[in-house]
Amino acid sequence: MIDFKALLGQGNPPLVGIDISTSSVRLVELVQGAKGELRLERYAAEPLPRNAVTDGNIENMDQVVEAVRRVWKKSGTKARHAALGMPPAAVITKKIILPAGMPEDQLEVQVESEASQYIPFALDEVSLDFDVIGPAANSAEDIEVMLAASRREKVEDRVAIAEASGLKASVMDIESYAARAALDRVIAQLPEAGAGQIIALFQIGAQVTHISVMLDGATVYEREQPFGGTALTQDIVRSYGLSFDEAEARKKTGDLPDNYHAELLTPFLESAALEVTRAIQFFYTSTPYTRVDQLFLAGGCAVIPGLLELVAARTRISSAVISPFKGMQIGPSVRESQLRLDAPAYLVACGLALRRFD
């Protein structure tokens, strides 16, 4: 069996979470602080050239490797072990039921046999992993097992990036699972640890918005919508004749003509709020649920002034911009004022960094 577990290191050596997205590479290092609390030791980001990564696929290995090298150096970390993420679309996951009490080697054989029913590729072309969740709900003699599989070249691309950057890929996770691990920490700090609360997370990326809805630690709904911050960047390019990279930079600094807010930013915010509202309505109509108690915004667009207030007004749901570092101690090299602006974009990287403590 070719599996993700071959990548898993033993113990918990210093490890960084590295999130390779469409637009950038982000790095987070967490350590155990005083009284057992987590501490954000350092974080950093480096932009990626356009089309270096497309729809989760590594299109230009050299450009991504160079960005990983730069972000590692910029962060100041000495850690050489890394947890990397796989885009959800590149991984097939399936819960299966198997007899309890099997030895590990027999369990692997049984998982491989079951996997062949769900994976549309030859097993020698995939990386395969599984995790025993626990006893099956309706049978004391069975266990519930989560199966995860991805085309081997997708995994090997990320391992190769780490190695070419001077790092070791010790953990491979699914990006949506990493984000959920970071979200779980935030939910645990809500009143009564969020028990019974239906919580929606909107991760607004460069090109795609990923929606997750959680209830009592379980994901009850997931969906992706083709909407992201690149749409605003492209509007800036068309309106002001800038290059894409220059438009992206000026979007962040606000160094744009006086009509930018009225003619470009406000329509983008309206579109973003409409996407969120539609997604909530679709959640209601396609599931048994008829309410959302808390809505979190994540991603680089989450901190655009006015978006949070507009989303809260349109959805009439308690809304907040999420920080995956809430409740953590802050290391001496981290500027807290800058972290408040950056944090919502680091949900996946933080979740990957948390794998050090599994």
Q: pLDDT tens, 141-173? A: 899 998 898 999 999 999 999 999 999 999 999
Among 154, 186, 187, CA closest to 85: 154
Q: Residues 178-197: what's their mean pLDDT? A: 95
Q: Residues 60-82: what's their mean pLDDT? A: 97
> In the structure, what pLDDT confidence band is assigned to residue 41 with cuts at 50, 70 and 90?
very high
The DSSP annotation for 255-303 comes to -S-TTHIIIIIHHHHHHHHHHHHHHHHHHHHHSS----SEEEEESGGGG
Q: pLDDT tens, 84-135? A: 999 988 898 888 899 998 888 888 888 888 888 888 888 888 888 888 888 9
pLDDT at 166: 97
Domain range annotation of the chain = 88-150, 190-321
Q: Is 74 a residue whose pLDDT tops 60?
A: yes
Class of domain 88-150: alpha beta
Residue where the block lists tokens 């048994």: 288
**CATH number given to 190-321:** 3.30.420.40
Average pLDDT, the chain: 91
% residues pLDDT > 90 (the chain): 70
pLDDT at 133: 87
> In the structure, what pLDDT confidence band is assigned to residue 344 with cuts at 50, 70 and 90?
very high
The C-alpha atoms of residue 14 and residue 16 are separated, in whole angstroms, by 7
Q: Residues 5-9: what's their mean pLDDT? A: 42
Q: Is 12 a residue whose pLDDT tops 80?
A: no
Distances (CA, A) of 56 to 19, 108, 174, 208, 280: 11, 28, 12, 11, 25
Among 140, 142, 218, 138, CA closest to 180: 218
pLDDT at 265: 95
The C-alpha atoms of residue 293 and residue 275 are separated, in whole angstroms, by 18
Q: Please, which residues have CB within 8 angstroms of residue 224's CB and are 6 or more apart in sequence?
A: 88, 89, 208, 209, 210, 211
Q: Is 8 a residue whose pLDDT tops 70?
A: no
Cα-Cα-Cα-Cα dihedral sign, residues 63, 16, 202, 144: positive
pLDDT at 358: 77
Record the pTM. 0.90
Q: Residues 59-87: what's their mean pLDDT? A: 97
Q: Is 5 a residue whose pLDDT tops 70?
A: no
The C-alpha atoms of residue 207 and residue 226 are separated, in whole angstroms, by 6
Answer whether 297's CB lies under 8 Å from 307's CB.
yes
